[in-house]
Amino acid sequence: MIRALAASGSWPAWAETAAALMCRANPALLPFLIAADAASRHYVALCLAALPFPRDEQRPALQRLAHVIAVHPRRRLLTDLWGYDLGAPRLLRRLEPAPFSSRGAYHELACALGDPLRRSAFARAGDDLSADHIGNLLHAAPDTLRRFHPEAVARVGDGLLAYLFETLRGGQAAAEHERDEESGSGTPREFGEDDADRRKSDVNQEEAHDAYGEERPMHGRCRDSGSADDGCGAPSPGDRAILRRLNQIARLKQDLNNLVATALKDHPFPEPPGPPDQRFQPIRTITAMKRAGLTFRNCLGRPALWGAALRGEQTFMIMTNPTPLIVGLARDRLTGVWSLDRIAGPRNRPAGVEATRSVIEAFSRIGVRRRPTDAFLFVGRP
């Protein structure tokens, strides 16, 4: 029977032996296990994961399970095995076709389905959910599940979504402050205006569904009004726009690096040290960095480099005269001091001696030195 189940290719290694023991106790169960659809396989695996792990204790439980698993109401059986309600078994249709390769993944699935807030998020998180997606839903903070669309949380994860949101919010606040200073309208607001705006946003709670892209979750709503900082109440119009944009991008199911690049493509990098003269043009966004990578045919489009630029650990400038060059600066994490990191021409080719000396002298005038550990500034990093 183990060979028959293994030959079907439908069961992970951890469940094959237990399924074979059930078939020995009830031979009529073998055709059901071999021909089971994806949701039924996940249901059986979820039942097996709830049994005691030691073989001595598991065998009697498997014998009892063999006679009821195909005829007992599924929701009631899962409740009896796990000790709490896991919701409607039809939710298992949203999982990827193949059963999970680890027993622990079904424990995380049971924990997620046992919580009403996460079960509601699970039902709206899309199809073909993997064990990693279940883990993202399980470990996400409740405020994140209320703020973002569940599919975005499942695909991307709590930490990255929060980072993108706060980064975009900070860039938006900086841009608004800069516009106020340029227009001269940056005067203090009258007392009570902030409270009035907050009450106005709290009155129309139905507008909050725009932040999710669909209807709001039915469970775990906050009773107290508040701002988007704590995940309660209606977000501000600016936060709603950021949330809608992130939800749309995250649900495209693209690579995480591409997701970050898409979300922050026009977000300015942290302020670099001022260019020494007009020959140097700072690269301030991911879009400009990728464009420079295509122009110079080098590695500036790699996620590792623009990720470091987003964190303020590196910055890059284009030198146009007399020779087109890319100049890279690196910031020491301990001291915060900037130093020359690389000088390269097109295709990462080494810069000439005169051009290198000119760059070093120009940056030394503004207090940026080459790395002290280098005998000479290396040029052109692959």
Mark whether 318 and 214 lie in a shared domain: no
Distance set, CA 315 to CA 203, 318, 349, 350, 361 (Å): 45, 11, 19, 19, 18
Has residue 153 been placed in a domain?
Answer: no
Mark whether 246 and 192 lie in a shared domain: yes
Tokens 């009155």 correspond to what residue?
203
Has residue 217 been placed in a domain?
Answer: yes
Mark whether 203 and 229 lie in a shared domain: yes
Count structural domains, the chain: 3
Mark whether 109 and 12 lie in a shared domain: yes
325: containing domain: 280-370
Using CA atoms, how far apart are residues 57 and 64, in angstroms rounded to an integer?
A: 12
pLDDT tens digit string along 230-240? 444 567 888 88
Instruction: Using alpha carbons only, give the angle 321, 327, 330 rounded to the nearest 5 degrees.
Output: 155
Has residue 84 been placed in a domain?
Answer: yes
Using CA atoms, how far apart are residues 364 and 314, in angstroms rounded to an integer?
A: 18
Tell which of 263, 291, 310 closes a domain. Answer: 263
Has residue 209 been placed in a domain?
Answer: yes
Tell which of 263, 291, 313 closes a domain. Answer: 263
Q: Are strands 314-319 and 325-331 parallel, antiparallel or unpaired?
A: antiparallel
pLDDT tens digit string along 175-187? 665 666 666 544 4
Distance set, CA 351 to CA 44, 197, 343, 347, 379 (Å): 64, 57, 7, 11, 7
Has residue 137 been placed in a domain?
Answer: no
Render each residue's pLDDT in the chain as its tens digit; 382 residues.
Answer: 556 565 555 788 888 888 888 888 888 888 888 888 999 999 999 999 998 766 666 788 888 999 999 889 999 999 999 999 999 999 999 999 999 999 999 999 999 999 999 999 999 998 999 999 999 999 999 999 998 999 999 988 888 888 888 888 876 666 665 666 666 544 443 333 344 444 444 434 334 444 444 433 333 333 333 334 444 456 788 888 888 888 888 888 777 788 888 888 888 888 888 888 889 999 999 999 999 999 998 888 888 888 888 888 899 999 987 789 999 999 988 888 999 988 988 888 888 888 899 999 999 999 898 876 443 444 444 3
